[in-house]
Structure formats: structure tokens, C-alpha cells
Amino acid sequence: MTLERLGTLTAERGIDRSELLDPGELAARTALPLRTVRALLRGEAPPEDTVNERVRARIHALASAHLERTGQRMSDLVGSISRELGVSAYWARQVCSGQKVPSVELLHGLVGFFRVEGGEAFFTAPADEAVNRVLMPVVAALQRTSDRAEASGDPLAAAGLSGYGDVRGVALRKAGRLPPERWKVLNATLEALLELDEREGER
């Protein structure tokens, strides 16, 4: 499991795992309840549910987050989905409120509408798999960072900043007194964000 691998990597390198994992952010990126994410991070099993329950709950979570982020009303969101995906406003409202399970075609459309990662599996995967999907780039970045740091012995080189002369590079170099474990945390986070940006740019 990805969480186990992350625990091993952080323990081996003396990094506090909590510095890499924000339960609130994980909940937002997976459309999972915060209590479920916290339970998974504690190594507990997620609550049992069905695929239909997952789909309804995650669409409702995404709809709620969209309304909070944009300040729109539910009628605005429903209207946008109705127009873009070619479904009735009534059906779109039922789906967004978590009352109805969408058809496969509508679920596919919602992947694009909400710009979620992982396709339809974003809505259907069990909670532990959903969290693993988000954490995999962090684990991969942490592994690469550690390998480079061990090879070079230079945290700036490990972060890929040698010879980096723009404003961001200067700012990061001013933080050169950070202890090695802090550099590892910083670089792992940056690499994960860059990978996410690359994936979004490929869509």
C-alpha cells in the first residue's frame, strides 16, 4: 500500500510524515469525507460502502466544493451541467445533490466537467485506492529526491536547483541553511505539484 511505502520512506529519512500529509487537502482532492481520510492515515479500514454510495457521495462533495469555491447557487451549477452534458436540469440536480446515481455516459461527462483525475475510477474506487492515487506521486518524488540527495550530498542539487538563476532560484538559495530533512520535505512537495501540473496540462 502506498501509505505503508510513504511511512517507510519518511521513517528512513527522519521526516515527519505529517509534514507531507494534509488530511484536509487529501479529502478535497479525493472527494472523501475528512473523517475517512483521517482514519486511513491512522491505518484504519475505511467504512464499508457500495459503488453506488461512493458515486453519489463524491459527486455531491464535488458539487458542494464547487459552490463554496465559486459562490454560485445550486441552480447555476445545475444549469451548467444541463447545458454542457445535455441532461435535464431535474436530473442534474438529483445527481449533484447525491440523490441519484448517474448513467455511465453522464459519469464520464462529470469527469470532464469537474476536471477530476483518474477518470470514472475517481468516483468508483474504494477510499483507500482513492487516497493511494493521490499519494503515489508524493512517494515517487520522495524516492527520487532521496536518491539524488544521497548521490550528490547537496540539497540544492537534489532539488534540481544548481545553476538556477531566476528569482525563485535565488529565493530558494537564501533558504540554504534549512536542515536536510526540511529540504527533502520541500522538494517532495514541489515535485508532486509539478507532476500534477504536467498531468493537468496534458488534458
Listing DSSP states for 29-51 in one string gives HHT--HHHHHHHHTTPPPPP--H
Sign of CA dihedral 23, 28, 32, 35: positive
What are the backbone angles phi and psi of residue 182, rounded to the nearest 5°?
-70, -35
- Separation of alpha carbons 126 and 199, rounded Å: 22
17: helix, strand or coil: helix
- Separation of alpha carbons 60 and 134, rounded Å: 20
pLDDT of residue 1: 63
Q: Which three cell numbers stand for residue 83?
A: 447545458
Give the total residue count for the chain: 203
- Separation of alpha carbons 203 and 183, rounded Å: 31
Mean pLDDT of 14-30: 83
pLDDT of residue 3: 73
Which of these, 27, 25, 7, 26, lies nearest to 17 by C-alpha position? 7
pLDDT of residue 69: 94
- Separation of alpha carbons 126 and 16, rounded Å: 27
pLDDT tens, residue by residue, 109-148: 999 999 998 999 999 999 999 999 988 888 887 777 655 5
pLDDT tens, residue by residue, 142-198: 777 655 555 555 544 444 444 333 334 444 544 555 555 555 666 666 666 666 666
Answering whether pTM is above 0.75, one says no
CB 154 within 8 A of CB 21: no
Where does 13-163 have alpha helices with state H?
A: 23-30, 34-41, 51-70, 74-85, 89-96, 104-114, 121-124, 127-152, 155-158
Which of these, 145, 180, 176, lies nearest to 160 by C-alpha position? 145
- Separation of alpha carbons 46 and 68, rounded Å: 26
pLDDT of residue 8: 77
pLDDT of residue 24: 93
Domains of the chain with bracketed CATH: 2-22+127-202 (no CATH), 51-124 (1.10.260)
